[in-house]
A and B are shown apart, each in its own frame.
Chain A
Amino acid sequence: MSNPQQLRYSKEHEWLSVAEDGVSTVGITEHAANALGDVVFVQLPEVGATVTAGESCGELESTKSVSDLYAPVDGEIIEVNEVVTDDPSLVNSAPFEGGWLFKVKITAEPGDLLSADEYTAFTAG
């Protein structure tokens, strides 16, 4: 698997797109999706909700377990992916594309976001 070069990554296995007008798209990485197994339910934050980097803002359920979804940045949720709510398998089949989870207007970024190469090294360990 390869992690797209243009994205940035959190140590909680979220990816973050390059911000346009201060808004980034967020999803979970292929590494995280593979570790979870088949995702069967996603609970996304509400549009308008304020999220904080490193804090839980939703849930992902797979056959075997439930996991928190963490916000990779501080900000306000401006859109959530309703398609993935209806078809959570997109998180497995297209984690970096159709399986995106929400768009966030960033108010602050933590200092420890990773580049693609850094994230690849982080997950290899």
Chain B
Amino acid sequence: MTEAPRRTALDATHRALGATMTDFAGWDMPLRYGSERDEHVAVRTRAGLFDLSHMGEITITGPQAADLLDYALVGNIGGVRAGRARYTMICEAGGGILDDLIVYRTGDQEYLVVANASNAQIVLDELTARAGGFDAAIRDDRDAYALLAVQGPESPRILKAVTDADLDGLKYYAGLPGTVAGVPALIARTGYTGEDGFELFVRPADAVALWEALTAAGKDAGLVPCGLSCRDTLRLEAGMPLYGHELTAATTPFDAGLGRVVKFEKTSNGGDFVGRAALEAAAARAESAPPRKLVGLIAEGRRVPRAGYPVVDAAGTVIGEVTSGAPSPTLGKPLAIAYVDAAHAAPGTEGVRVDIRGSHEPYEVVALPFYKRQK
């Protein structure tokens, strides 16, 4: 697996802006353009523009598209109305998470599934494997879309300057087809930053024109280009899980505190879906005797916890593990998300530390998220 990283339609734009690039899931992506802290603050207070074209799009069409997705995924996809979106997951038969997804219902018999870049092939293969007997077609649309995101409190005003679409009528987790800066787009009110914002799915050939139009429209509002580094700290503050960190094939949605995405009550396919039995057992286990819980940790000191660092008690006994950690620009302190033994997972639990390269640094246990925007 030493293939050259793939480049998005905006590659030359990023390089012209002086971006520091990084290999992410086989893609050469902008890590940051200048200071990642400044980019983070811009999204929290004004607006940021992201290239997320590495995300993996898969289109499902046909009379039984909804039934297929109800069977293949854990959510109640048939219950999603046209023009709305749902956060959901695809699990193994054993209940382990294969990926977390956003599914947009783009038509009566059409859905757009958006997978993480690192898992897009697995999701495509699993959907295909699970499609037997359903009157539905699966189309690999990874090369059909570029994805740009405008995130931050100024994003509605910026987008309104370049589209006639009814943004006020577009609710959180909704998407509608429209035209933005003369470019046909699926306009979705979704994001991964904890702020209001939009994701725009467009043809790759239109990506540069749209980027430039948004940059111009956002100039006075303080819109800046933003890389994946600040996207990670933004989602961490917002307590949003990241596949490969909080979510893995060894974790069920219930272990990750996201059991609400599993809809046992769905009735299509006689209520059957991949992973159902294992997830029922996982739900019962999480209710009665959870081994570990996902919590937030806030540092008292300044050293930064990193994924994989042990969480320890006052005696130095390992009681958990950090899954994500970073310095938080908003709180001004290092933060971590960690799986911690249930006995130590209650907010305010005393004596919880993170082993930072041999030094046991004190941490406060809190409920997620760390940051919630004022509406």
Chain A interface residues toward B at CB < 8 A: 34, 37-38, 40-41, 43, 61, 63-66, 89, 92
Contacts and interface: CB of A to CB of B under 8 A. Distances in A.
Contact of A41 (B20, B37, B229, B304): B304
Interface residues of B, number: 16
B36 A41 contact: no
Contacts of A38: 35-37, 327
Contacts of A43: 303
A64 B227 CA distance: 12
A40 B331 CA distance: 13
A40 B35 contact: no
B327 A41 contact: yes
B32 A37 contact: yes
Q: Which 7 A-B pairs have the closest CB atoms?
A: A40-B327, A38-B37, A41-B302, A61-B304, A63-B36, A38-B35, A37-B36
A63 B229 contact: yes
Contacts of A34: 20
A89 B306 CA distance: 20
B233 interface: yes
Contacts, number: 39
A16 B173 CA distance: 54
A95 to B, nearest CB: 14
B111 to A, nearest CB: 35
B326 interface: yes
Interface of B: 20, 31-32, 35-37, 229, 233, 302-304, 306, 326-327, 334, 357
Most chain A CB atoms below 10 A, which of B31, B233, B303: B303
A106 to B, nearest CB: 28
B327 A63 contact: yes
B229 A40 contact: no
Given A61-B304, A63-B327, 8 more contacts: A37-B36, A37-B229, A40-B304, A40-B327, A61-B327, A63-B36, A64-B31, A65-B306
Contacts of A37: 20, 31-32, 35-36, 229
Given A40-B327, A63-B233, A92 B35 contact: yes
Contacts of B326: 63-64
A51 to B, nearest CB: 19
B229 A66 contact: no
A63 B304 CA distance: 8
8 contacts: A37-B229, A38-B37, A40-B334, A63-B37, A63-B326, A64-B36, A64-B229, A65-B306
Contacts of B36: 37-38, 63-64
Given A37-B229, A38-B37, A40-B327, A66 B304 contact: yes
A103 to B, nearest CB: 23
Contacts of B20: 34, 37
Nearest to A88: B302
Nearest to B306: A66
Contacts of B303: 41, 43, 61
A67 to B, nearest CB: 12
A64 B228 CA distance: 11
A55 B257 CA distance: 44
Nearest to A37: B36
Nearest to B303: A41
Given A61-B327, A63-B326, A92-B35, A40 B233 contact: no
A66 B357 CA distance: 10
A43 B357 CA distance: 13
B330 to A, nearest CB: 13
Most chain B CB atoms below 10 A, which of A34, A38, A61: A38
Contacts of B35: 37-38, 92
A90 to B, nearest CB: 13
Nearest to A43: B303
A63 B327 CA distance: 6
A84 to B, nearest CB: 13
Contacts of A61: 303-304, 327
A64 B307 CA distance: 11
A103 B357 CA distance: 26
A84 B334 CA distance: 18
Nearest to A61: B304
